[in-house]
Amino acid sequence: MSVTREAVLETLKTIEDPTGKGDIVAAGVVRALNIDGGNVRFVLEIDPARAEAYGPIRDQAEALVKAVKGVENLSVVLTGHSAQPAPPDLKLGHKSEPKGPEKIPGVNNIIAVASGKGGVGKSTVSANLACALAAQGRRVGLLDADVYGPSQPRMLGVSGRPASPDGKTILPMRNHGVTMMSIGLMTNDDQAVVWRGPMLMGALQQMMMQVQWGALDVLLVDLPPGTGDVQMTLAQKAQVDGAIIVSTPQDVALIDARKGIDMFQQLNVPIVGMIENMSTHICSNCGHEEHVFGHGGVAAEAAKLNVPLLAEIPLHLDIRLAADGGAPIVVSAPDSAQAKGFADVAQALIAKGIA
């Protein structure tokens, strides 16, 4: 018998809020309650100034909800939200940060795969690069941090829900030699993630620090497009060894890619290199080569920044079909010309000693 939303809420209503506003449900502390069969997840969103008072509340909520009939796995995230946030500090990484970046237990290197603009194929690159590294004998993890548009479960052919034996440690999924975790495994396919910045940051920290990654040579982090909370949280909380910037050759994409590069420079994360995706298209009927999005823009930008151009990945139907089918092109057709670019990038990262 599956647990009901009403049963969980009635249980949480028995817990008094420390602010004296009634129970924690009435006080608006309980957010993002998600129930899927026996899997229950919710966030306790609090004023950071009262974090110490809410520690026992989280433990109490966890103990009571675990006892509800039908609950098999439980995830409770305690995250802070200030009603009057301080103005943003443009000098990122300043000395007043209470805690610097930490190593993720068992993970030797962390590489962020980023883009300034959406739709440039960053997730496709991440999935293929992870599988290419695994094919070359590396112990690889892939964290899908694109919270609003998680696509790695589909691309890596992973389904089901991650287990949490103790309600705190999350066991990741694995396929094609890649250990993977994604918020997409915690939600239904058609369910939107409607979270504020503090909830995003709490979820990312949980996926980084509470997932049992095991011993990894490298953890790739597939970031959302842009320069927002997720990127900043990653760089400020974890020791990121480098970032790969993915862009198409067109000027519109490069404008945003430059902003992404500038963000990582402000966050003191080195740029490992750039990848030009959808670089060229060769007609499968006549063999004519056409640069649909232009050509050479990413190479010129990489030269300007004095960073390597890691690969020029073609625009090809087989790459898209392989990703949609759950077996990236480096898995489904490892000897193809389309897979070669990803294999070359993997070799370059290994040669640099960061994978």
> What is the model's pLDDT at position 95?
42
* Among the listed residues 282, 40, 52, the one whose alpha carbon sits nearest the alpha carbon of residue 164: 40
Question: Binding residue per annotation — 122?
Answer: yes
CA distances from 178 to 138, 236, 274 (A): 9, 25, 23
Residue 213 lies in a domain: yes
Q: What is the mean pLDDT of the chain?
A: 85
Give the pLDDT score at 339.
93
Q: Does residue 235 sit in the same domain as residue 321?
A: yes
In-domain check, residue 97: no
pTM tops 0.85: no
Looking at the fold, whether 131 and 254 belong to one and the same domain comes out as: yes
55 is known to lie in a ligand binding site: no
* pLDDT tens-digit map of 248-257: 888 888 888 8
pLDDT value at residue 188: 67
Per-residue model confidence as pLDDT tens digits over 143-198: 999 888 888 999 999 988 888 877 778 899 999 999 999 988 877 666 666 666 67
Per-residue pLDDT at 80: 59
Read off the CATH number of the domain in which 344 is found: 3.40.50.300
Q: Quote the CA–CA distance of 213 and 179 in Å, as a whole number.
A: 7
Residue 65 sits in a domain whose CATH number is: 3.30.300.130
Note whether residue 250 is domain-resident: yes
pLDDT at 146: 87
Cα–Cα distance for residue pair 42/34, rounded to 1 Å: 6
**Does some domain include residue 88?**
no
Quick one: 218 and 291 in the same domain? yes
Domain boundary among 32, 64, 80: 80
**Same structural domain, 180 and 320:** yes
Nearest CA among 332, 336, 328, 341 for reference residue 123? 328
Q: Determine whether the annotation assigns residue 103 to a binding site.
A: no
Structural domain includes residue 91? no
Across the range 318-326, mean pLDDT stands at: 91
Same domain? For 66 and 136 the reply is no
Does 96 map to a domain? no
> Are residue 259 and residue 146 in the same domain, yes or no?
yes
Task: Looking at the structure, tell me whether residues 200 and 305 fall in a common domain.
Answer: yes
184/53 same-domain check: no
- Residues of the chain with pLDDT > 70, as a percent, come to 90
- Domain containing 316: what range? 107-352
Are 60 and 135 members of one domain? Answer: no
Residue at which a domain ends, from 80, 97, 125: 80
- Domain membership of residue 162 (yes or no) is yes
The residue type found at 43 is V
Whether residue 121 is annotated as binding a ligand: the answer is yes
- In the sheet where 178-182 sits, what is the strand order? 173-175, 178-182, 140-144, 216-222, 107-114, 242-247, 271-276, 309-312
Tell whether 247 and 181 lie within a shared domain.
yes
The pLDDT value given to residue 93 = 41
What is the pLDDT at residue 281? 78
Residue 252's pLDDT is 81
Q: How far apart are CA 232 and CA 266, in angstroms?
A: 10
Band (pLDDT 50/70/90 cuts) for residue 35 is: confident
Tell me the per-residue pLDDT of 279-307, one tens digit each, with 9 for 90 and over.
877 777 777 777 777 777 888 888 888 88
Q: Which of these three, 62, 80, 98, is where a domain ends? A: 80
- Edge to edge, what strands does the sheet with 73-80 contain? 30-36, 39-46, 73-80
120 is in an annotated binding site: yes
Q: Is 118 annotated as a binding residue?
A: yes
Q: How many domains does the chain have?
A: 2
Q: Do 152 and 31 sit in the same domain of this protein?
A: no
Tell me, what DSSP letter sits at residue 223?
P
Residue 119 is assigned to a structural domain of this protein: yes
Is 157 labelled as part of a ligand binding site?
Answer: no
Whether the predicted pLDDT of 139 surpasses 90: yes
Candidate ranges 169-173, 256-260, 328-332; pick with highest mean pLDDT? 328-332
Query: What is the number of other CB atoms lying within 10 angstroms of the CB of residue 186?
Result: 20
pLDDT bin (cut points 50, 70, 90) of residue 97 is very low
228 is in an annotated binding site: no
pLDDT tens column, 49-94: 777 788 888 889 999 999 998 888 888 877 754 443 433 333 434 4
The string over 100-109, giving b where at least 16 C-beta atoms fall within 10 Å of a residue's C-beta and e elsewhere, is: ebeebeebbb
With cut-offs at 50, 70 and 90, classify the pLDDT of residue 270: very high
* Rounded Cα–Cα distance for residues 10 and 165 (Å): 24
Same domain, 139 and 244: yes
Cβ 106 vs Cβ 215: under 8 Å: yes
pLDDT band at residue 134 under the 50/70/90 scheme: very high
